[in-house]
A and B are shown apart, each in its own frame.
Chain A
Amino acid sequence: MRDMKVGRRDFLALGMTGAAALFAYGLLRDQGSGVLLRPPGAQDEAAFATRCLRCGECVRACLTQCLEPAGKGFGAARLWTPRFNPALGKCEFELCGRACAQACPVGAIREPDDADVRIGTAAVTRSKCIAWNEGKACLVCYERCSYAAIEIDSRGRPRVLADKCTGCGACQNTCVTCPDPAIMVYSPGAAPLEGGGNNRRGN
């Protein structure tokens, strides 16, 4: 009788430990597939996923509230890590004093110089852009960009200069085709090519 009782209680505790280990192993396997924008200073994705405690301090600290905890779509290994979502706000990394990095209790978010910040790169999806697609006059992204990273050609169509773009998200945040913005920020090195030249094909 005694052995049975003890065995069952041990079994419960061991089972829970085992389940935790299996859960952790599952985290290793599930890296997800979505592309996740990070706050400035957290672009080293592998190191960041290890360091981040998912405490949510950066999400709370962000002055423009442009961060949110990453949901299930980004893989269990990155669950609840901070996701920079330009739809929520622009990243004001030059003005906010790097509130997210200051708030991070484990130093997972570093503080690169302003000139070195590359959250990602914006790119125009021409099929959605009203300047490209419908020939309308729209200079919103061009006017909102603080880094002169968008040039307008002779027909008023925007093009991103990737070497100047910091990925701050101002253009995506204000694009008039929201909620399906024609100009979006992509992870560093993951931006689709916009296509060359000024020759508009089709319409």
Chain B
Amino acid sequence: MKKQRRRAVHWVRRAVQLAFIALFVASAWAAAWPPNATLDENFFLRVDPLAGITAAWESGLWLYLLPAWILLGLTALSGRFFCGWICPLGSAVEMLPSLESRRARKISRLRPRDIFGRTIRADDRRIRLKYVFLGILLLLFSLGINAIWIFDPLVVANRAVIFVLLGGVPFVFIALVVLAVVVGPRFWCQEMCPLGACLSLASMAGSRLPAAASPLALVKDEGACTHCGKCACACPFGITEVADSRKTGRLFMADCALCGECVAACPEKGALSLRALGAPLLGSGKAREGQEGLEGAITCET
């Protein structure tokens, strides 16, 4: 595969992700002594809707995790931006080198492919498994068995930092890292993560809102789209709907993490854009066809 040109949004997002990882590690690592000089708690755990559900359900503390409900509300407005830009575990697994692309390249000739080189139906069905998984976890929790602690990404990441601090081994974190390297960077986020399932559900609830009401929205202009499929190829979350959809205006994608990779990959001017409250943040199609040899060389590998 020839080198793809990474656009500014890619590096901006990497910088934001690294900043949040650093913030997360700092707030989880902050020594407890002296007491007045440190953060009281890791704020990331307070914005965790799964922890919010746990606290509200079992302890009746509805307002205890107000930030978590605020995150759910923002997700209803904007989609899973938390997963694409903030979640420290998601960022960590996304930045890992993955075996998937190389392996997938080898077998991609054997696998039946659509025009985007993807087995769309299989992907779509697998993506829904996370709701089943979340349902199982909540069912067990209602029976008094807490298994959420094993899989909640923020809890896993927090524990990983504290275990390293204590000289222990964060097994769950290592397992997820191995899973990411072997199966695919965002496999966990898209097909397993119970927090991601929560946020996807919230995102679905707000999907009918117009782009102007959304702090961060992906907007498509069907007229400018040539259905080349590069957006779907670039999507780290494996979403093909961005290419398939014939809609004009805000796209309804519960699993979209608003990462902007599709906008960066899109060669058509104005076909895709990221917007904040209706104002364009990032538009597609700066390169002209034929001018950039690298642009023409993008092929779908997975």
Residues from chain B with a CB closer than 8 A to the CB of A10 are: 122, 125-126
Q: Whose C-beta in chain A lies nearest to the C-beta of B68? A: A105
Contact of A99 among B32, B42, B65 (CB under 8 A): B32
Residues from chain A with a CB closer than 8 A to the CB of B41 are: 57, 61, 102-103, 105
CB of A69 closer than 8 Å to a CB of B:
yes
Q: Are A23 and B119 in contact (CB under 8 A)?
A: no
Residues from chain B with a CB closer than 8 A to the CB of A57 are: 41-42, 45, 158, 162
> Nearest chain B CB to A124's CB is how many angstroms away?
31
Count contacts on B: residues with CB < 8 A to the other chain.
Answer: 55
A45-53, A156-164, A165-173: which one contacts chain B?
Answer: A45-53
Q: Whose C-beta in chain B lies nearest to the C-beta of A103? A: B41
Residues from chain B with a CB closer than 8 A to the CB of A51 are: 54-55, 58-59, 146
> Nearest chain B CB to A54's CB is how many angstroms away?
4
Contacts across chains A and B counted by CB atoms under 8 Å = 142
> Nearest chain B CB to A91's CB is how many angstroms away?
14
Q: Are B149 and A105 in contact (CB under 8 A)?
A: no
CB of A56 closer than 8 Å to a CB of B:
yes
> Nearest chain B CB to A17's CB is how many angstroms away?
6
> Nearest chain A CB to B200's CB is how many angstroms away?
16
Residues from chain B with a CB closer than 8 A to the CB of A16 are: 192
CB of B233 closer than 8 Å to a CB of A:
no
CB of A107 closer than 8 Å to a CB of B:
yes
Cα–Cα, bound, A63→B40 (Å): 11
Q: Are A107 and B59 in contact (CB under 8 A)?
A: yes
Residues from chain A with a CB closer than 8 A to the CB of B110 are: 1
Q: Are A53 and B148 in contact (CB under 8 A)?
A: yes
Where chain B touches its partner, the secondary structure class is helix
Cα–Cα, bound, A141→B112 (Å): 75
CB of A108 closer than 8 Å to a CB of B:
yes
Cα–Cα, bound, A96→B163 (Å): 23
CB of B46 closer than 8 Å to a CB of A:
yes
Residues from chain B with a CB closer than 8 A to the CB of A111 are: none
> Nearest chain A CB to B129's CB is how many angstroms away?
5
Task: Encode contact with A along B121-164: 1 for CB under 8 Å, 0 otherwise.
Answer: 11001100100110011001101111111111011001100110
Q: Are B166 and A59 in contact (CB under 8 A)?
A: yes
> Nearest chain A CB to B255's CB is how many angstroms away?
15
Residues from chain A with a CB closer than 8 A to the CB of B168 are: 69
Q: A105-B48, A105-B65 are in contact. Are A59 and B151 (CB under 8 A)?
A: no
CB of A9 closer than 8 Å to a CB of B:
yes
CB of A140 closer than 8 Å to a CB of B:
no
Cα–Cα, bound, A61→B32 (Å): 5
Q: Are A53 and B122 in contact (CB under 8 A)?
A: no
Residues from chain A with a CB closer than 8 A to the CB of B136 are: 17, 20-21, 24
> Nearest chain B CB to A60's CB is how many angstroms away?
5
20 A–B pairs (Cβ distance < 8 Å), ordered by A: A5-B111, A9-B119, A9-B122, A16-B192, A17-B133, A17-B136, A20-B150, A21-B136, A24-B137, A28-B140, A55-B149, A55-B154, A60-B30, A60-B162, A62-B32, A63-B32, A69-B159, A80-B159, A105-B45, A105-B51
B residues contacting A by CB (< 8 A) are 28, 30, 32-33, 35, 40-42, 45-46, 48, 51, 54-55, 58-59, 61, 64-65, 110-112, 119, 121-122, 125-126, 129, 132-133, 136-137, 140-141, 143-152, 154-155, 158-159, 162-163, 165-166, 168, 191-192
A residues contacting B by CB (< 8 A) are 1-2, 5-6, 9-10, 13-14, 16-17, 20-21, 23-24, 27-28, 46-47, 49-57, 59-63, 65, 68-69, 77, 80, 96-97, 99, 102-103, 105-108
Known: A59-B166, A106-B54, A106-B59. 16 other contacts (CB 8 A): A2-B119, A13-B126, A14-B129, A17-B132, A17-B136, A21-B136, A53-B45, A57-B45, A60-B28, A61-B32, A69-B159, A80-B149, A97-B35, A105-B46, A105-B51, A105-B65
Closest 8 CB pairs of A and B: A56-B162, A105-B45, A24-B147, A106-B55, A54-B149, A6-B122, A2-B112, A107-B61
